Chain A
Amino acid sequence: GIQVEQSPPDLILQEGANSTLRCNFSDSVNNLQWFHQNPWGQLINLFYIPSGTKQNGRLSATTVATERYSLLYISSSQTTDSGVYFCARSPGGGADGLTFGKGTHLIIQP
């Protein structure tokens, strides 16, 4: 089946550090999204990025669809960045649901 693999599974950093989270997928992608699940369980939409690069403040994301991976960059980490980051994709332009990876659990220590 469709695979979405995220790495690393866990990451502990000091406040102010930079990080790169990776998402590999096994099939073509039409829709790729990055989410942040905060400690209250809410899923926050970070990026919709089936290809190319986008930036939003301290966060940026790059998807290279031909090589089947996406990267999420977090710069100058803050404690509020803690939580679980999910990558999710769907293959086509139809109504397909998203296939999620298992997430990267990020802890930012003060």
Chain B
Amino acid sequence: NAGVTQTPKFRILKIGQSMTLQCTQDMNHNYMYWYRQDPGMGLKLIYYSVGAGITDKGEVPNGYNVSRSTTEDFPLRLELAAPSQTSVYFCASRQQGGAQPQHFGDGTRLSIL
């Protein structure tokens, strides 16, 4: 099993550009999450999804959009990139039901210049 796969691993954007960060998981998990990690800090929740067609905001959703058309995929879109969105982005998933651990991808390092 590949687990949670994120692409790309690195990306540099110019201010105002848009891009989509890809996340896919092969564990048939219903719950998926996007976090961002700023330098010297822990991760903060951007958006999450409990299943296909259902998404909800986390702690820091401004400037981002998500969609969930399939169980496997949970892309994160930046419409108008800003320097404040320079960060490392992590995708995670977990099994539905009870208390289950979250499994993380390797992250996408994004710089906005």
Query: B37-63, CB under 8 A of A: which get 1 and which 0?
Result: 000111111001010000010110000
CA separation between A48 and B101, bound complex, in Å? 6
B14-32 with Cβ < 8 A to chain A: 31
Please count how many residues in chain A sit with their CB below 8 Å of the partner chain's CB atoms.
22
Query: B72-108, CB under 8 A of A: which get 1 and which 0?
Result: 0000000000000000101010001111111110110
Q: How far is the CB of B36 from chain A (nearest CB, A)?
A: 11
A5-33 with Cβ < 8 A to chain B: 30-31, 33
CA separation between A9 and B70, bound complex, in Å? 40
Q: Within 8 Å of chain B (Cβ to Cβ): is A68?
A: no
CB distance A45 to B43 under 8 Å?
A: no
Q: Within 8 Å of chain A (Cβ to Cβ): is B68?
A: no
CA separation between A41 and B37, bound complex, in Å? 10
CB distance B35 to A45 under 8 Å?
A: no
* Cβ contacts A to B, 17 pairs, < 8 Å: A31-B99, A35-B104, A42-B106, A42-B107, A43-B104, A45-B101, A45-B103, A86-B42, A93-B98, A93-B99, A95-B31, A95-B48, A97-B35, A97-B58, A98-B43, A98-B102, A103-B42
Q: Within 8 Å of chain B (Cβ to Cβ): is A106?
A: no
Q: How far is the CB of B49 from chain A (nearest CB, A)?
A: 8
Q: How far is the CB of A4 from chain B (nearest CB, A)?
A: 8
Could you tell me which B residues sit within 8 Å of A by CB distance? 31, 33, 35, 40-45, 48, 50, 56, 58-59, 88, 90, 92, 96-104, 106-107, 109
Residues from chain B with a CB closer than 8 A to the CB of A35 are: 104
Q: How far is the CB of B40 from chain A (nearest CB, A)?
A: 7
CB distance B50 to A95 under 8 Å?
A: yes
Q: How far is the CB of B41 from chain A (nearest CB, A)?
A: 6
CA separation between A86 and B102, bound complex, in Å? 13
Residues from chain A with a CB closer than 8 A to the CB of B59 are: 97
Known: A43-B104, A43-B107. A88 touches B99 (CB 8 A): no
CA separation between A42 and B108, bound complex, in Å? 10
- Nearest residue (CB) in B for A30 is B99
Residues from chain B with a CB closer than 8 A to the CB of A88 are: 42-43
Residues from chain B with a CB closer than 8 A to the CB of A50 are: 99
